[in-house]
Structure 1
Amino acid sequence: MVRRPVRGVHCLPRPGRSDPGRRTVSRRHPPRRVRGRACLRGRQHRLQGRHPGPRVSRKLQALLFVCGSAIFAYLVARIGVGRLLADAAHTGWIFVPILVLYGVVYACNTAAWRLIMADEPVRPPFWRAYAITVAGFSLNFVTPMVNVGGEPFKIAAAARWLGVRRAAGSVVIYQVLHTLGMLLSFLTAIVLGLLLLPPHPALRAGLVVAFVVLALLCWLLLTGHRRGVLEGALDLIHRLPLVHRLARRLESQRATLVQMDAQMTEFYHKRPRRFFQALLLEYLSRSIFMLEYVLIGLGVGLRITYLQAYAIGGLTSLIQNTMFFVPFEVGTKEGSLYLFFKLLGLDPALGVYTAIVSRLRDLAWIGVGIGLVWLAGRQPAREGATAP
């Protein structure tokens, strides 16, 4: 009702001019500029790429909830309800602080993501962002082999505040920082492994090679954050054989990728303090997570130092990420913990028990996360979605 009369003004001839075909502007109205157009309701959000996108559809939420619940039930059935209850009973009261500890880890992850979104006119409140984070990590875990189910969900859930493009940019930036924090924790674990594990030449050589490779990956990620990496990745896909069809499909999104690259480099160059604060929170979350092994040891009367726990947890996680193609990390966690407990002179059977308790904690938080899929996808309050 507003735009049609406004557009009609531009067709009126200005007094003193005889060219009726020339589009002119009345003296009573400002020229057509962004500032004038921003007065139209909703236009400012679209101009800045922050127009709220559609909320997570109920069909998608239902599909994610059903698939996640089915996989969750499969994991419970595979391990056995009786065994899970017996392990929980054996762990006793110590299982409660283990669960709370992982909640603190998710709080650090959420705080890091919200730091990335700090410059946005509106962003998800902390507890809504917390629900989205937990749901996203849970969907990643129940996605077999590739662990990519959580990021699209986070983008769709956060788009109600940021718009689709800005939400996608924030998730990409967070994922890069999350990976960088994980790599730094791996480097820390390798250094501790060189100090604490037996000095076998083959073991030391493997740790040194892993350190060099991980340090190179850290450098590449930092370079990507400084210069942008998404458009370059698209150019690389065009050069690779067998993926030309994918490259052609992504080519239509080049402008969006360029904008996301700009969002990424802007965060690094214009907000370096916030960048390193978010990275520190991600590294802190990994460091807090290592306390789980100390708590599990206390539950069975075994004293595990924090440095030992960090070496065990970091190196085990490194092996699990290297073997990412194994569905649900079946066997990789148990085998890795058995090996590192034995190398540190601890009872290797307790390594297997630690893996079981860790999986029990995983299942508990997956159940919470799948339930939060509904809460995280709910439409926010109207004023929060449209605030300037």
Structure 2
Amino acid sequence: MTGSDGGMAWPMDRGTTLKLLVGFAVALVLVYLLGAVIGWDRTIERLRTADLYWVGVACVSTLLCLLAWTKTWQVVLGAAGVNVPFRKLVVTFYAATFANYITPMGQAGGEPFIAYILSRDTEANYEQSLASVVTADLLRMLPFFNVGLVGLGYLLLQSQLPEGTEQFAALLLGLAITLPVGIVLAWRYRDAVQRAVVRLFAPLATRTDRFTVEGVRKRIDRLYESIDLIAESPWDLLVAVAFAYVGWVLFALPLYFSGLALGLEISLLLVAFLVPVTVIAGSTPLPGGLAAIEGSLVVLLTALLAFTADEALAVTTVYRLTSYWFVVGVGGIATFWVLARV
């Protein structure tokens, strides 16, 4: 979408905001019903025993994770020829994460908003911004699947997968194979991708003057050019991947710390399996994977560790408070800060 100044128009209109609010309302109702089935009284009793020290450690781990991923983003931007001070980019990345966390379908849904913020808050144009966002997202996906497969291997070596978890394991394995293949194909057959996207937008272009078919084609060309420029810096990409792995470890640790907060130990290798699987399960039409992540994590904890349902829900609640709602709060503040300065 293009504004009157030739830049990107604000992507969060009133209708989109209303849909997000409705999505949150539906998701929270589903989370409440999950707790009602398990028993909120027993779960709350367990939550009252939580060690606040470990809750705080989980929150710190989440913050450090975002700092590491900010560094990934900064390195990728630098490879694209855009230099942004780390201190400034941290706030922008927190706002970007907020967009992803409140948008249905996670990364895919929030990327236009993120690219908009980045293009308005830095010297990058929209195509450079989107290219850096896409590249950084792909680099951050590597640890999710690689380490997730390590966790899956650990489970298979220990024993057979408990009943009800085979689907999660198959989904993880399938995505670990198909996503890299899909990325390679999209890169190799970029002309076909461009034609498909243009064909998709062509009917819309006849109904609005906010974009044209030729404009869409040019934006795709500039997007691929920006990604080409990033790909020409292998050392920068290696550094970015290293920070992506550090960030992933810090992203996964809050689940381990949430168990410690309630006196329940979860193996780190099991965490390596659980976190990617729940992220995949969270790719639903509801904001932030709400309800889907909570439900799948409760099922997995009870199946893999023989936790009682209220124990599993208590751990899940602490985990989501420290890894999701905490980020929504901090990221929301960052978003207002960024919008005020652009």
- Regarding TM over 0.5, the answer is yes
2:334 aligned counterpart, secondary structure = helix
1:302 aligned counterpart, secondary structure = coil
Q: Which runs of 5+ in 2 are unaligned?
A: 33-39, 207-211
Listed one character per residue, the Cα deviations across residues 228-261 of structure 1 (whole Å, up to 9, x for unaligned) are: 74x5323124567xx6514874442212211221
Deviation at 1:70? 6.0
Match 1:280 to one of 233, 236, 242: 242
Q: What pairs up with 1:142-157 in 2 under 5 angstroms?
A: 142-144=102-104, 148=108, 150-157=110-117
What corresponds to 2:221 in structure 1?
Answer: 258
Partner AA of 1:302 in structure 2: L
What corresponds to 1:31 in structure 2?
Answer: none
* Alpha-carbon separation, structure 2, partners of 1:250 and 1:100: 46
Q: What pairs up with 1:91-106 in 2 under 5 angstroms?
A: 91=50, 92-106=52-66
What corresponds to 1:364 in structure 2?
Answer: 326
Deviation at 1:62? 10
What corresponds to 2:257 in structure 1?
Answer: 295
Q: How many percent identity over aligned positions?
A: 18
What corresponds to 2:36 in structure 1?
Answer: none
Match 2:280 to one of 297, 318, 321: 318
Provide the TM-score with structure 1 as the length reference: 0.68
Further displaced range: 143-152 or 153-162: 143-152
Further displaced range: 292-301 or 201-210: 201-210
Q: What pairs up with 1:204-353 in 2 under 5 angstroms?
A: 207=169, 210-222=172-184, 224=186, 227=188, 229=190, 231-237=191-197, 244-246=202-204, 249-268=212-231, 270-321=232-283, 324-349=284-309, 350-353=311-314
Provide the TM-score with structure 2 as the length reference: 0.76
Partner AA of 1:360 in structure 2: L
Asked if 1 retains the 8 angstrom alpha-carbon contact of 2:98 and 2:328, the reply is yes
Listed one character per residue, the Cα deviations across residues 307-340 of structure 1 (whole Å, up to 9, x for unaligned) are: 122222222223223xx23455343223222222
2:55 aligned counterpart, secondary structure = helix
* Alpha-carbon separation, structure 2, partners of 1:69 and 1:215: 32
Q: What pairs up with 1:37-48 in 2 under 5 angstroms?
A: none
* Alpha-carbon separation, structure 2, partners of 1:191 and 1:312: 12
Q: Does 1:166 align with 2:128?
A: yes
1:282 aligned counterpart, secondary structure = helix
Asked if 1 retains the 8 angstrom alpha-carbon contact of 2:80 and 2:132, the reply is no
* Alpha-carbon separation, structure 1, partners of 2:331 and 2:87: 13
1:117 aligned counterpart, secondary structure = helix
* Alpha-carbon separation, structure 2, partners of 1:96 and 1:374: 25
What corresponds to 1:126 in structure 2?
Answer: 86
RMSD: 4.0
Distance 1:129 1:197, change over 3 A: farther
Deviation at 1:366? 0.4
* Alpha-carbon separation, structure 2, partners of 1:63 and 1:209: 35
Q: Which runs of 5+ in 1 are unaligned?
A: 1-51, 381-388
Distance 1:253 1:357, change over 3 A: same
Deviation at 1:205? 8.1
Greater helix share, 1 or 2? 2
What corresponds to 1:354 in structure 2?
Answer: 315
> How many pairs align?
319
* Alpha-carbon separation, structure 2, partners of 1:115 and 1:360: 30
* Alpha-carbon separation, structure 2, partners of 1:70 and 1:376: 21
Partner AA of 1:184 in structure 2: N
Partner AA of 2:296 in structure 1: S
Partner AA of 1:278 in structure 2: A
* Alpha-carbon separation, structure 2, partners of 1:202 and 1:85: 27
* Alpha-carbon separation, structure 1, partners of 2:20 and 2:171: 40
Listed one character per residue, the Cα deviations across residues 169-201 of structure 1 (whole Å, up to 9, x for unaligned) are: 222322333344433344334333433453469
Higher relative contact order (CA 8 A, sep 6+): 2
